Amino acid sequence: MTIIAVPIAVPVQRLDHAGDMPLPRYQTPGAAAVDLLAAIAEPVELPPGGRALIPTGICIALPLGYEAQVRPRSGLALKHGITVLNSPGTIDSDYRGEIGVILINHGSEPFTVARGERIAQMVVAPVTRIVWQSVGAALPETGRGAGGFGSTGKK
Domain contains 117: yes
Instruction: Give the span between the Cα atoms of 100 and 142, in whole angstroms.
Output: 41
The answer to whether residue 2 scores a pLDDT higher than 90 is no
DSSP notation for 45-67: EE-TT-EEEEE-SEEE-PPTTEE
Residue 122, domain member (yes or no): yes
Q: What angle do CA 76, 80, 83 make, to 5 degrees?
A: 50
Report yes or no on 83 lying in a domain.
Answer: yes
Q: Is residue 85 included in any domain, yes or no?
A: yes
The pLDDT of residue 145 is 83
CATH code of the domain containing 95: 2.70.40.10
Q: Which residue has the higher pLDDT, 121 or 2?
A: 121
> Where does the pLDDT of residue 148 fall: very low under 50, low under 70, confident under 90, or very high at 90 and above?
confident
Establish how many alpha carbons lie within 13 A of residue 34's alpha carbon, considering only the half-sphere containing its beta carbon: 13
Q: Report how many domains make up the chain.
A: 1
Domain that holds residue 64: 12-129
pTM of the predicted protein model: 0.87
pLDDT digits (tens, 9 = 90+) for 36-90: 999 999 999 999 999 999 999 999 999 999 999 999 999 999 999 999 999 999 9
Q: What are phi and psi of 100, to 5 degrees?
A: -120, 150
Judge whether 152 lies within some domain: no
**Mean pLDDT in residue range 119-127:** 97
* Angstrom distances, CA of residue 21 to CA of 39, 65, 67, 130, 145: 8, 29, 23, 38, 51
* Position 6 in a domain: no
Q: Is residue 147 included in any domain, yes or no?
A: no
Is 115 a domain residue?
A: yes
